[in-house]
A and B are shown apart, each in its own frame.
Chain A
């Protein structure tokens, strides 16, 4: 499978996606402005999430652990347009790497370099904010969900007093309150002392981070990114050790969903090699011997960062040719 084919939708439908995203952002900002920060946060995000969690708990027979899993999957499905857009933007950025590295090498003047980079983005129809905005929206939703879980998962009396102020006046919602805290080997309101859940959080975060990493343009960036690839899972393991297990369950399910979403976008180009750590590289001083086309194809099909190295040295003509073909196809 060609690596460039799945990236086409991000380039082909920028207007619709931008419009949707801008509408959502304007809607959120407008609501926060009109209603006030606290009221809008509670009314539009927190309370619906809390009540949805309670509703799902009743639907699955009072099993709160199952409700968290179901809720996470549903939430990720609802926000999948943003997730896919983010992944496709990442993918498009990856495809641009060889040309961006050429720009980096060719222009020493920062202003000119930036102009050329922007020109490149424009030419390829890539919005550099395409990764950031969906992430920002998801982050907002996830922080609200986290706070919602704090009310519902905790299972402590104080949080239930707070919960009473947020439950909609529909008696069905409170049928399972206080919620059943036992799920599998976990007590959802308490940290997992078996370390199994923190480990799952760490592994799934590592896999998810590796698969959705934005390509680095410089060795420094690559180094930073690699550090993040390790640091993020470790930090989350540490945090999960002190958080109620319900939050960890949410995080693992969310990561697994992200991995599937990545597979959907990257398709066959994803191999187990994507999960291997890459060593930070320095820009080659001497051009490497040109790889035969079949070797080059193989390298492109493997880990994205490794592919970038090969292409940055030798893939210029071939990449441009592919872009031309794609435009013709459009």
Chain B
């Protein structure tokens, strides 16, 4: 009987790390428990008709469409010749047609001894200078070279607990919160722990660092304000919600906004820790709210995106998506973009909440990760690490091939 039930599978962590950009590199989790550095710009149009590296990224005709009966792949994409005839196909006279975007490196490489299994990555990586910092569900924290993807610390820092929250970075400190409720301070240069704070309950939301204060939300409903240097409590008492706080805290008009399982979005005064207002919805607030021009755009697992006044907490409008909203909204130009759990992406008017496109863009892949705005386009990381580039003006999208 259990065997029959077992055939239906059991949930495994997949991760929902959002993409991050640094210069010419896009850092994204392109597979479960894997981080890749990609060339965010593919060649296109006339650039595909020659056999030169037009964007001078070291790759020829990457991302160009297939021509003829055969696309090039694998090592054929690494040279600047048309390899069709060598493989028995008619020569289409196109170099590297159908080759995916270039992946400059990925981590882990698969060659590590012993084999590395990061399980999943939930927190969006942080890039500082030439270093990428991220934490994995396996409990390990890494610092990688942005250029090569090689680990910079002798050993990753092992928290001995699952990590779901993203990391926060100051000049001399990397803050990592784990499922055991420990907020650890690491030296970003060496990866050694220098301090620790015990929140007493799991921390699933990325710590927010602002003006020397670290805001940490825990699943027992507490929001702590800590001195970023000493980890001492800034408020007399932590703010307490009735149930777990799971959304990444953000700042808005002198308040910290944080939501959770109690179905409320709380605006907590940054000075006193007192609640200024709260906004109730029909389900959990798990997605990171976006604050823009006096409005808070808060996604909810009831499938609604709420536009709320950041001063008063009064609802301005709400938009109902087809499925629950975990992913954070982003503003691309003057279009507010939000993706639901089933991969339906909506482009909204931020003033009215009206849909700007004739229909939502259907990626047909689950989206739980926070998107990124890059060169006017929205980069969305979907289930399984598939990446999409969405034109927010037209509501059209392309899948980014990764290798």
Contact = CB atoms under 8 A, between A and B. Distances in A.
B243 A178 contact: no
B8 A147 contact: yes
Nearest to B300: A164
B322 to A, nearest CB: 13
Q: Which of B10, B219, B341 has the most CB of A within 10 A?
A: B10
A110 B339 CA distance: 64
A146 interface: yes
B2 A251 contact: yes
A55 to B, nearest CB: 15
A157 B243 contact: no
Q: Which of A138, A157, A178, A240 has the most CB of B within 10 A?
A: A157
A239 B242 contact: no
Contacts of A239: 2-3, 6
Q: Is the interface of A mostly helix, strand, loop or mixed?
A: helix
Contacts of B282: 169
B3 A139 contact: no
Contacts of A32: none
A239 B6 CA distance: 8
B69 interface: no
Interface in A119-153: 138-139, 142-143, 146-147, 150-151
A147 B1 CA distance: 13
A147 B5 contact: yes
A174 B2 contact: no
A148 B6 CA distance: 13
B134 interface: no
B219 A178 contact: yes
Contacts of B368: 158, 161
A177 B6 CA distance: 25
A239 B243 CA distance: 35
A146 B5 contact: yes
Q: Which of B1, B14, B341, B368 has the most CB of A within 10 A?
A: B1
B101 interface: no
A244 B10 contact: yes
A171 interface: yes
Contacts of A178: 202, 204, 219, 244
Contact of A150 (B2, B11, B263, B301): B11
A171 B2 contact: no
Contact of B6 (A151, A162, A243): A243
Interface in A152-166: 154, 156-159, 161-162, 164-165
Q: Is the interface of B mostly helix, strand, loop or mixed?
A: loop
B370 to A, nearest CB: 13
A115 to B, nearest CB: 33
B4 A143 contact: yes
A313 interface: no
Interface in A202-259: 235-236, 239-240, 243-244, 247, 251
A175 interface: yes
B230 interface: no
A206 to B, nearest CB: 14
A165 B284 CA distance: 9
B107 interface: no
A157 to B, nearest CB: 6
Nearest to B341: A161
Contacts of B3: 235-236, 239
Contacts of A164: 261, 283-284, 286, 301, 324
Contacts of B14: 158
B368 to A, nearest CB: 7
A177 B11 contact: no
B85 interface: no
Contact of A171 (B5, B202, B262): B262
Contacts of B228: none
B142 interface: no
A154 B11 contact: yes
Contacts of A235: 3
Nearest to B204: A157
Interface in B270-326: 282-284, 286, 301, 324, 326
A236 B4 CA distance: 11
Given A164-B284, A165-B301, A156 B5 contact: no
Contact of A165 (B16, B219, B263, B324): B324
A175 B263 CA distance: 12
B244 A161 contact: no
A244 B6 CA distance: 11
Nearest to B286: A161
B307 to A, nearest CB: 21
Interface string B1-41: 11111101011111010000000000000000000000000
Q: Which of A165, A240, A243 has the most CB of B within 10 A?
A: A165
A142 B4 CA distance: 10
Given A151-B11, A171-B263, 5 more contacts: A143-B1, A161-B324, A169-B282, A171-B262, A174-B262
Interface of A: 138-139, 142-143, 146-147, 150-151, 154, 156-159, 161-162, 164-165, 169, 171, 174-175, 177-178, 235-236, 239-240, 243-244, 247, 251
21 contacts: A139-B1, A139-B4, A142-B1, A146-B6, A146-B8, A150-B10, A150-B11, A154-B11, A157-B13, A157-B122, A157-B164, A157-B204, A158-B11, A161-B286, A161-B341, A164-B284, A164-B324, A165-B283, A171-B263, A243-B10, A247-B10
4 shortest A-B CB distances, which residue pairs? Answer: A146-B5, A154-B11, A159-B11, A156-B13
